[in-house]
Amino acid sequence: MEIIAVFAPLVGFLLAFLFGKNMGDKGAQLVTCVGILIAAFASCYLFSTVVLGAGHAGEQGVLHAAEAYVVTLMNWISSGAMVVDWSLRIDALSVVMMCVVTIVSSCVHIYSIGYMSHDANKARFMSYLSLFSFAMLMLVTSDNLVQLFFGWEGVGVASYLLIGFWNHKDSANAASIKAFLVNRVGDFGLALGIFAAFFVFGTVQFDELFALAAGSADTMMNFFGYELHAMTVICLLLFMGAMGKSAQLGLHTWLPDAMEGPTPVSALIHAATMVTAGVFLVARLSPMFEFAPIALMVVTIVGGLTAFVAATIGMTQFDIKRVIAYSTMSQLGYMFFALGVSAYGAAIFHLMTHAFFKALLFLGAGSVIHAMSDEQDMRKMGGIWRKIPTTYALMWIGSLALAGMPFFAGYYSKDMILESAFADHTWFGNFAFWMGIAAALMTAFYSARLLFMTFHGKARASKKVMDHIHESPFVMLLPLFVLAAGSLFAGYVFYEKFVGHHQIWNGSIFVLPDNDTVTAAHHVPLWVKKLPIVMGALGLFLGWVFYAKYVGLPEKFTKMFRPLHGLFFNKWFFDEFYHKTMVAPASFMGRLFFKTDKNVVDGLGPDGMAKSSLGLAGMLSRFQSGYVFQYAFVMMLGLIGIITWYFFKMDLGAVAPNIEVPTMEMRGGEIQDTIMPVDGTTEAFE
Amino acid sequence: MENISILSLLTFLPLIGVLFILLIRGDEARVALNSKRVALYITSFNFLLSLFMLLRFDGSSADFQFVESVEWLPALGLQYKMGIDGISLYFVLLSTFLMPICILASWNSIKNRVREYMIAFLVLQTFMIGTFCALDAVLFYIFFEGVLIPMFIIIGVWGGKRRVYSAFKFFLYTLLGSVLMLLALLVLYLEVGSSDMETLMANPVARGMQMWLWLAFFASFAVKMPMWPVHTWLPDAHVEAPTAGSVILAGVLLKMGGYGFLRFSLPMFPEATEFFAPMVFWLSVIAIIYTSLVALVQEDMKKLIAYSSVAHMGFVTLGIFTATTQGIEGGIFQMISHGVISAALFLCVGVVYDRLHTREISRYGGLVKNMPKYATVFMVLMLGSVGLPGTSGFVGEFLALMGAFQVNTVIAVFATTGVVLGAAYMLALYRRVIFGEQKNVDAAAMKDLTKLEYSYFVPLVALVIWLGVQPSVVMDKISPSVEKLIGQYEAGINKSEQTETAEPIMLEVIEEGLNNE
């Protein structure tokens, strides 16, 4: 069953990619949609057997950890102690992720039939979507760090292909390369994290790593010449990868640009699934992060800052997709600080609800863009809600869920995160809590802003566009209904199972007893529980005041807070900063080195030698002068040369073993000492 | 297997092909066609023969297999000795696999002196296979240097505009290293009293001598690799060489340096290797970063890929000199993978060069519209070069870096930046050639891959993916030999440590003796 779930999309991809020309667009759409639907049903089946089966057992007080299992397909890489298999790890965490991925992906596949109906390369588009789904499933079901890396880079490539899908557009090409490269910067950290994990623990298998993690509290390693806590180094390096993929502050600049891709791509990859891979990574490695408190602190702070900064930018953007993109980034920040305060269940809960309502928002936005003849600027929209009422209603559902209004899905998960952060009772937990509260206000504000600017007020589009506005076809609306149902009910239905009293995790998430903030979150003061709702309602109200009631107000505010608005509007100048500090120097250095090759290396080397040998020949001819004293002088020089060489040789032979070798040994000895464990985990190091 | 000398057969079969080609008579067109045919048949047969060898190869053994040994110059104690182990096995296969592809790639693009061209390639193949099979140091040297001659001719005769400059640069650089290696070989022969490579491995010379010999061999292998800063011959050689010449140059010739390190430097001079390893690490890191940055600003497709080769070879030297299992296996796998990927990338350049006769990146653009098959092939190869997991490029790079991390984290961190830079220049190249608007009318009118071109790209692409998904098939046969190599290397180092610790004891004994007197 798990093999079907993971490989059905791959089959769909291969068929559509290799034989897309032969089977036609219809055929390609059919095989890819069937492939992903099979995967979705298989995943749901696994959910009902593996996850819910365990949950029932839990209620009776009998927990069977054996529900988690690993299917080994074949050996992949084996090099000495580094043994990696292609394998599928099936436990509560991976099955939840599989369900989220396949359900959203199915919706997007079907939606794309309608959305891409005017495109010339339908088969290629559908096949890339399936390729992405396959890579994502390989990521979430991996049983070791290296296969996770495979899925990780695989979704990166699919994302690269899909962002640049309209490859005649220069902006799309630039955005796709930027996405790939910024992600590679994160992957640089992830790869180093894997190397470090192997270096310290001698394995990349999850089970073995997790078993060794508990005993690693005193393990130190030498990294970059410093003696550091090994688990902290490993987790921070791995987290760097998560930051890249999940667009956390610092490595986030690719996400808004990724909106150059077709909208279904933004919904699937850049909202619901791929960007949450980082969240999944930290949750999956919770048995390791739990023993790296400093790493958790960093995760919390980065998450809190991202939630806040992204929300500030989201309030000022005019491109409807970019607003939602910044909102995604902000929500990912929430998930990360939930992880940071050890509320892994809450993070995955928000990941799931967010997948539904954010995919709904993106696909709804796509429906609007489709209706408005590919217009994305909200300043050119307005007054269209009567013309596309279904889309309008669905967008409201998505926005209310995002704003965390009671009984919508986002309400349960976001509140849980904020309460957990408060219940952590650390300074960074508190910091994240207040960042999150501020972000909640802004989230509701920009959601209302988006709704009122897009659908209400005066129509600002040209007459031709306005006349053309139409509700989307059924094939596009059907997936929206599925996602809307998720946005409405997923929170209420799964609350108990994800973060309540009957949790399904069954060992797939590990929390130290002292860090159990999810349980503590049920006992926070009343004002903490109510504050997010108040903020959400206030934000929506302000949005209404600014963008529906007094339409001139935003302009006055912008003038009043010009520097601040400038900062937000220009996205805190991250792009400019990176261009000046990284991109420009790299190309300058490239040119410089290229010149060095030409002038210095070749100049001293072959070209120079050719020149100087000509000169030397001339000089040598002058030597043959016939004067005996000159010959004698040269002989003397030669003799001195030979004697010097002999002395030097003896020096090297005699001195080198005594001086140089001990230093080498000392270094080797240091490394060995540092990885020697203090307690009973010695086997791992042999 | 004793009665079939399969390695000699593999090595000298191409020379028999040369004889056939020399016997061809008729007008020029006829000679050309028949020469091509003979070359294709011979190299294809040789490839099948090497597959047969692969089947008969015992992957669980670390010993040299198919060993042949004949007295050659008994007065000097020289012998003709051939044999392969897990380390050389796949280099032989790489040499036989790429050669028919080279002949096919030259089928229509070489118009003048076809007979001589084919002869040059067949001779080249003899020398290449011989290099990887030779088990006698002098024999190795002859094959190793022999490669220079046909390659020099290929670049100098069938090359581009500046072919003579490039050919001489290539020749001078490699010759300089070779002279030093020849000297070192003579010294080694005089010290140990044998040129048998197995004997040499078993009897390392004294530490001080190791240093000098190591440096002399290093000079030769580093140029072949090529390592920074002796890499500047490579971009020029590639740019001027005909497509098939570039394929062999990148696919096989660059691997000879790495093979030399594995065969000579590590087992024969273990203490010197340990002593100089940090220097090699830094040279590798500089190579990775420096050449990646240079590749970033190239305007010539071939030059870009040539510089990327230097960067990729940086991972190889880095991995080999870590002397860890992962590092060495990663280095070997990286060489095999690079042999396939870079060869295929040069073929990709050849495809558009044959149509438009320029390698300037800006003359192309938007090729995905008129050449979709080409775009797909190029895409897979580009991703392989970038080191995407699931392609062969990932495995070697990842293992080599993993090995480096175990030895020195600073080096590993700097080297891993190459993963980002490598993606930068390859994606930029792909974008400018394949994507974007179709600005040039002549580029937009180019035809997609022909059947002939398709026939050699399909196996290459399949190999890139297959080696990426199931590298263990290849690695299983490598690892016993690598374990043995590491054993030899560590034994060499430990022995010296023992003698060092022994020295003070000896001194004490002598002192005691003196006191007693």
Gap from A79 CA to chain B (nearest CA, Å): 6
Gap from A294 CA to chain B (nearest CA, Å): 21
Which of A177, A194, A224 minimises the CB distance to B413? A224
Determine which of A93-97, B177-181, B275-279, B467-471 has the lowest per-residue pLDDT on average: B177-181
Distance (Å, whole) CA B417 – CA B326:
19
DSSP conformation letters of A255-307:
HHHGGGS-HHHHHIIIIISGGGHHHHHHHHTHHHHTT-HHHHHHHHHHHHHHH
- Alpha helices by DSSP H, B225-359: 233-240, 243-248, 254-260, 266-268, 270-296, 301-322, 325-356
Which residues from A are below 8 Å from B409, CB to CB?
A: 196, 222-224
For chain A, what percent of residues have pLDDT higher than 70?
86
Unique residue bearing structure tokens 């197995």: B198
Interface subset of B 261-290, CB within 8 angstroms of A? 274-275, 290
Cis before B267 (ω within 30) = no
Which residues from B are below 8 Å from A649, CB to CB?
A: 208, 212
* Distance (Å) of CA B73 to CA A502, B198, B233: 84, 18, 36
pLDDT of A21 reads 82
Unique residue bearing structure tokens 């500046």: B162
pLDDT band, very low/low/confident/very high, at A672 (cuts 50, 70, 90): very low
Which of B212, B294, B436 minimises the CB distance to A173? B436
pLDDT of A663 reads 40
Instruction: Give the number of other Cβ atoms within 10 Å of residue B13's Cβ.
Output: 19
* Strand pairing class (A82-90; B65-73): unpaired
Distance (Å, whole) CA B297 – CA B92:
35
pLDDT of A605 reads 64
Gap from A491 CA to chain B (nearest CA, Å): 36
Distance (Å, whole) CA B444 – CA B434:
11
Judge: A188–B435 Cβ closer than 8 Å, yes or no. no
Q: What string of H, E and C letters represents the secondary structure of B138-165?
A: HHHHHHHHHCHHHHHHHHHHHCCCCHHH
- Alpha helices by DSSP H, B357-450: 367-370, 372-386, 392-407, 409-434, 441-444
Unique residue bearing structure tokens 């990927």: B341
Distance (Å, whole) CA A300 – CA A426:
11
pLDDT band, very low/low/confident/very high, at A62 (cuts 50, 70, 90): very low
pLDDT of B512 reads 56
Which residues from A are below 8 Å from B410, CB to CB?
A: 224-225
Distance (Å, whole) CA A653 – CA A682:
40
* Shortest CA distance from B271: residue in chain A: A661
**What interface predicted TM-score (ipTM) does this complex get?**
0.89
Backbone φ and ψ for B207, nearest 5 degrees, come out as -60, -50
Judge residue B494's burial from the number of C-beta atoms within 10 Å of its C-beta, 0-12 exposed, 13-18 middle, 19 or more buried: exposed
Which residues from A are below 8 Å from B406, CB to CB?
A: 195, 198-199
User: A80 by DSSP, 3-state: which?
Assistant: coil
Distance (Å, whole) CA B30 – CA B27:
5
pLDDT of A681 reads 41
Cα A500–chain centre separation: 27
pLDDT band, very low/low/confident/very high, at B516 (cuts 50, 70, 90): low
> Is the pLDDT assigned to residue B502 strictly greater than 60?
no
Judge: A653–B401 Cβ closer than 8 Å, yes or no. no
- Most A CBs within 10 Å: which of B233, B472, B486, as the mutation test of the A interface? B472
pLDDT of B67 reads 87
DSSP element (H, E) containing B24: none
Q: What string of H, E and C letters represents the secondary structure of A320-337?
A: HHHHHHHHHHHHHHHHHH
How many CB pairs below 8 Å do chains A and B form together? 170
Distance (Å, whole) CA A111 – CA A32:
12
The candidate with the shortest Cα–Cα distance to A364, out of A391, A333, A330, is: A391
Taking a C-beta distance cutoff of 8 angstroms, is the pair B293, B310 a contact? no
Cα B430–chain centre separation: 25
Top-confidence range, A62-66, B67-71, B169-173 = B67-71
Which residues from B are below 8 Å from A603, CB to CB?
A: none
Between A633 and A24, the more confident residue is: A24
> Is the pLDDT assigned to residue A618 strictly greater than 80?
no
Determine which of A379-388, A481-490, A653-662, B160-169 has the lowest per-residue pLDDT on average: A653-662
Backbone φ and ψ for B483, nearest 5 degrees, come out as -60, -40
| Partners of A223 in the β-ladder | A226
pLDDT of B50 reads 92
DSSP element (H, E) containing B250: none
Which residues from A are below 8 Å from B211, CB to CB?
A: 652, 656
Q: Is the Cα torsion angle A346, A348, A351, A355 positive or negative in sign?
A: negative
Judge: A77–B298 Cβ closer than 8 Å, yes or no. no
Judge: B232–A602 Cβ closer than 8 Å, yes or no. yes
B372 has a chain A CB within 8 A of its CB: no
Kindly provide the b/e burial profile for residues B46-72, where b requires at least 16 CB atoms within 10 angstroms of the residue's own CB.
Answer: bbeebeebeeebebeebebbbbbeeee
Gap from A153 CA to chain B (nearest CA, Å): 7
Using alpha carbons only, give the angle B107, B113, B114 rounded to the nearest 5 degrees: 25
> Is the pLDDT assigned to residue B38 strictly greater than 80?
yes
Write the DSSP symbol of residue B68.
Answer: E
Which residues from B are below 8 Å from A81, CB to CB?
A: 325
pLDDT of A98 reads 93
* pLDDT, averaged across chain A: 83
B196 has a chain A CB within 8 A of its CB: no
Which of B325, B410, B424 minimises the CB distance to A181? B424
Judge: A192–B416 Cβ closer than 8 Å, yes or no. yes
> Is the pLDDT assigned to residue A676 strictly greater than 50?
no
Judge: B325–A198 Cβ closer than 8 Å, yes or no. no
Which of A187, A223, A591 minimises the CB distance to B297? A591
pLDDT of A65 reads 40
| Partners of A317 in the β-ladder | none
Distance (Å, whole) CA A392 – CA A358:
15
Structure confidence by residue, pLDDT tens digits, A117-149: 888 888 899 999 999 999 999 999 999 999 999
Taking a C-beta distance cutoff of 8 angstroms, is the pair B449, B351 a contact? yes
Taking a C-beta distance cutoff of 8 angstroms, is the pair A351, A279 a contact? yes
Distance (Å, whole) CA B86 – CA A313:
58
Which residues from A are below 8 Å from B296, CB to CB?
A: 586-587, 590
Backbone φ and ψ for B205, nearest 5 degrees, come out as -80, 180
pLDDT of A604 reads 67
The candidate with the shortest Cα–Cα distance to A435, out of A446, A454, A422, is: A422
* For range B224-244, the mean pLDDT: 86
Distance (Å, whole) CA A166 – CA A603:
46
